[in-house]
Structure formats: structure tokens, C-alpha cells
Amino acid sequence: MHEAGIGRYYEDFAVGDVFRHPFGRTISEADNTWFTLLTLNTNQNHFNADFAARAPYGKVIVNSGLTVALVLGLSVIDISQTALLNLGWTDIRLTHPVFVGDTVYAESLVTEARESGSRPYAGIVTCRTRGLNQDGDEIISWIRTVMVYKRDAPHDKGYFPEARTGPMRLPEGTA
């Protein structure tokens, strides 16, 4: 039986590694409208097409908070799936507008990796992450520091429940 889990541990990071995160995500009008209204952002450029048509870009622009959240989410599988703490973000730059219908991708460069001084079961990893649209335009970037578990840390192991009916087995007569 294999332990449930995905992601990288501290030992899997080296300065200079570049991770092209595996998923892209196309932003829909519903994504942008719901995120904008959920976060109580009242700037009409994010949800009022008539109003936005008069602005410099001439159409609704995606809420930058959604762009941050989406690029962050795209990076989790490689950078912070095994994190116990986000330690901070710096230098967030919004470098190109994002519109409904754009597909967002993300990649991260490891710029620093060191063992934690206070938690022997963890390390601290710093990355520069950037989001790209379908045309390769850099739409956003930041520096992010996370504390991730080491491979032998017990904290993220053994969480999958045991089935009350017992372990899965092949039917009798199956090779």
C-alpha cells in the first residue's frame, strides 16, 4: 500500500530549480464576477461591462486579487503542497492586464533553500513565481517564502482513514 500524498519535500528543492507548474486555468466571466463580489471589491471595472467599456482597456479587467490567488494556487502542487506555513510574499508586481478568457500558467524559480533553525523537521524555501498568459506575457510576479516539511517529518503522514470494511483486495481468482 502506498501512502497518500503529492508534492515536494525540503530535500527536493535546490537553488536554481525551475518548476513549470502542470496546470493552466482559463478565467471565465463567472470566476471574475464571483471573486469580485465575494471579496466586496466595488470597482466596477471588474463586473460592469458598460462601465469598463469607457476605461482605457475598453472591457472588463480581471480582479487582480483573483490573479494572485490563481497563480498561487497553480504553484501549490510543486512549491507548497507539503508546506506547514507561508512565511511571506514580497515584491508583488502586476505587469500585464488579465481579461476574461485568458488562460493563466505559472512557473517558479527556487532562489533560496535552508533548514529551519526552530523546526528540525522543516526547511525554508524562497521562490520567484510568475504568472503567464496564453501568449507568454508575464502578468504577475512575486517572491514567496514557505516552510515545508522534510521527507521524514511525521506531520503529514498517516492521515488517510482506514476503511472499516478492511483493506482493498483483488477478487478471488484474479491474478
pLDDT of residue 156: 86
Res 69 pLDDT > 90: yes
* DSSP class per residue in the chain: -PPP--S--GGG--TT-EEE-S--EEPPHHHHHHHHHHTT---GGGT-HHHHTTSTTSS-B--HHHHHHHHHHHHHHHHTTTEEEEEEEEEEEE-S--BTT-EEEEEEEEEEEEE-SS-TTEEEEEEEEEEE-TT--EEEEEEEEEEEE-TT-STTSS-SPPPTT----PPTT--
pLDDT of residue 159: 84
Residues 98-110 have pLDDT tens digits of: 999 999 999 999 9
pLDDT of residue 157: 86
pLDDT of residue 160: 85
Confidence of residue 40 (pLDDT cuts 50, 70, 90): very high
Res 2 pLDDT > 90: no
pLDDT of residue 148: 97
Res 51 pLDDT > 60: yes
- Which domains are seen in the chain, by residue range? 10-149 (3.10.129.10)
pTM above 0.95, yes or no: no
Residues 165-174 have pLDDT tens digits of: 988 888 888 7
